Amino acid sequence: MSKQRNLRPDEMRAAAEDAAIEYLAKDFTPEVAAAIATTVEMLLAIRWEEEFLSWDENDTRQVFVITADRMRDIRKAFTEIPRGMSNPRGEQHVFDLLRDLDLDWAWNVARLVRTYLVYKWKARERQLGAAKAAVGVAQL
């Protein structure tokens, strides 16, 4: 991402999101891509939450805040990943893609990437389930 530092912040975020989705979708199965995205989101959420809690109360920057409900949802998604499903190399690459973003935005982009990849994975599972059911009916 460092080559894109001359972009506006919104362009940097969009480029990082697109690059992460493209990389994960191309190099990993949907299940592993979703696991990587979930792991990255969880780790960035923890870092962001810790940083935000240590902020000076006079800091007036506008940032994304992780609510308790959202953090609970992130932790739940993370705990549902089967052990060993994620990929450390993939995680590091996604972290590298997000490194030039402010931490709150890096977390938010990771959240968007995870949401998209989990949706695609679940949609694929539904399609495969429907196809298997159709084959079963056709064999009757």
Total count of residues recorded for the chain: 140
Q: Cα separations (Å) of 138 from 130, 131, 133?
A: 12, 10, 9
pLDDT value of position 58: 76
**Predicted confidence (pLDDT) at residue 3 exceeds the cutoff of 60:** no
**CB of 23 within 8 A of CB of 97?**
yes
**CA–CA dist 30, 67 (Å, integer):** 28
Structure tokens at 88: 């450390």
How much is the average pLDDT of 19-41?
Answer: 95
**CB of 16 within 8 A of CB of 1?**
yes
pLDDT value of position 24: 97
Tell if the pTM clears 0.85, that is, is over it: no
Give 54's pLDDT tier (boundaries 50, 70, 90): confident
Give 119's pLDDT tier (boundaries 50, 70, 90): confident
**CB of 98 within 8 A of CB of 16?**
yes
Structure tokens at 44: 């960035």
The gap from C-alpha 90 to its chain's centroid, in whole angstroms, comes to 12
Give 10's pLDDT tier (boundaries 50, 70, 90): confident
